[in-house]
Amino acid sequence: MTIKKAVIPAAGLGTRFLPATKAQPKEMLPVVDKPAIQYIVEEAVASGIESIIIVTGRNKRSIEDHFDRSIELEQTLEEKGKKEILAELQGISNLASIHYIRQREPLGLGHAVLSARQFIGDEPFAVLLGDDLMMSKKPALRQLMDVHEKMGTDVVGVQHVAPEDVSKYGIIDPRACTGSVYELADLVEKPSVDEAPSMIAVMGRYVLNPSIFPVLEFLERGTGGEIQLTDALRKQCAASPIHAVLLEGQRYDIGDKFGYLRAGIEMALSRPEMRGQVLAYLDGLHGRMAVQ
């Protein structure tokens, strides 16, 4: 079945990026000249998504304002003849049909997804984490949707991680692998490196069947006292097959300070109008640091 709806959870507290996230959600932090969440919405639209629900928490206004029209600003740009940026701004508000729901308490990713249940109804849907940016030739979500359209199963996006990083992620226990698609035997949320069944971690992209909702509804709180999406997937896994697709592309966790810096530098390098300037700066910086 073709996926038309997506959930973007953006209600986390962003404690790893305080104080920047004290008064604004991390999903609104700019990467070059766009807030992170705009890249996510663009990826969803490029994958074929038509309706998006953003799960917001405190400080939600800036997200809503960003995807809404700003009539006064548009008028001023029109009067000043700034046609290019005007068209870009109008494009943002026409990207997709965007809806909002408030997660009253940040009780975890699973809880955020559950709060979108009414909007999703009884059809498969996508989840894109608001703080996980992907830069890839084929949109990351599309890579998952292609597998779901063939198999009809829940699909998660994965990438290999270094041993020191396994305890930060949901880690898969693969049963079989065909090309870049794994069939899962199990998943574990944030295991220690000794207990990890692999070094393959779930990144922030999922395609889920609506059967996940009753599982989430009756799930007990897991790691960190939160309702974990990984725990719900684990239960699903025992009942029906789940697949993981090895994502092609670069992934940036912008909720992490270094991940955010990397995203800014590499996204700027991917823009032809900025590439030369950034490379020259990095070269000069390298030279300066070497003589210190």
Which of 3, 47, 66, 130 forms a contact with ligand UTP (CB under 6 A)? 130
10 binds ligand UTP (CB under 6 A): yes
Which of 107, 135, 185, 274 forms a contact with ligand UTP (CB under 6 A)? 107
Q: In whole angstroms, how close is the CB of 130 to ligand UTP at the nearest point? A: 4
The closest residue (CB) to ligand UTP is: 12
Which of 2, 15, 76, 270 forms a contact with ligand UTP (CB under 6 A)? 15
Q: Which CB atom, from 157 or from 181, has the smaller least distance to ligand UTP?
A: 157
Q: In whole angstroms, how close is the CB of 25 to ligand UTP at the nearest point? A: 7
Beta bridge partners of 207: 126, 155
x/- letters, 39..68, toward ligand UTP (CB under 6 A): ----------------x-------------
Q: Which CB atom, from 225 or from 272, has the smaller least distance to ligand UTP?
A: 225
101 binds ligand UTP (CB under 6 A): no
Q: Which CB atom, from 166 or from 181, has the smaller least distance to ligand UTP?
A: 166
Candidate segments 7-15, 169-177, 193-201, 265-273, binder of ligand UTP by CB under 6 A: 7-15
Rounded Cα gap, residues 241 and 207, in angstroms: 13
Which of 108, 139, 157, 174 forms a contact with ligand UTP (CB under 6 A)? 108
**Cα atoms found within 13 Å of the Cα of residue 233, Cβ hemisphere only:** 29
86 binds ligand UTP (CB under 6 A): no
Q: Applying CB under 6 A, what is the total number of residues that bind ligand UTP?
A: 21
Q: Where are the alpha helices (DSSP H) in 162-271?
A: 212-217, 229-239, 257-269
Rounded Cα gap, residues 115 and 109, in angstroms: 10
Structure tokens at 116: 């979108």
Which of 41, 44, 49, 112 forms a contact with ligand UTP (CB under 6 A)? 112
Q: Which CB atom, from 13 or from 274, has the smaller least distance to ligand UTP?
A: 13
Candidate segments 103-111, 146-154, 157-165, 267-275, binder of ligand UTP by CB under 6 A: 103-111
109 binds ligand UTP (CB under 6 A): yes
Structure tokens at 239: 């009942």
Rounded Cα gap, residues 26 and 8, in angstroms: 13
Which of 5, 7, 12, 230 forms a contact with ligand UTP (CB under 6 A)? 12
- How far, CA to CA in Å, does 116 sit from each of 149, 168, 235? 22, 25, 20
Rounded Cα gap, residues 131 and 259, in angstroms: 10
262 binds ligand UTP (CB under 6 A): no
List residues near ligand UTP by CB under 6 A.
9-17, 55, 103, 106-109, 111-112, 129-131, 255
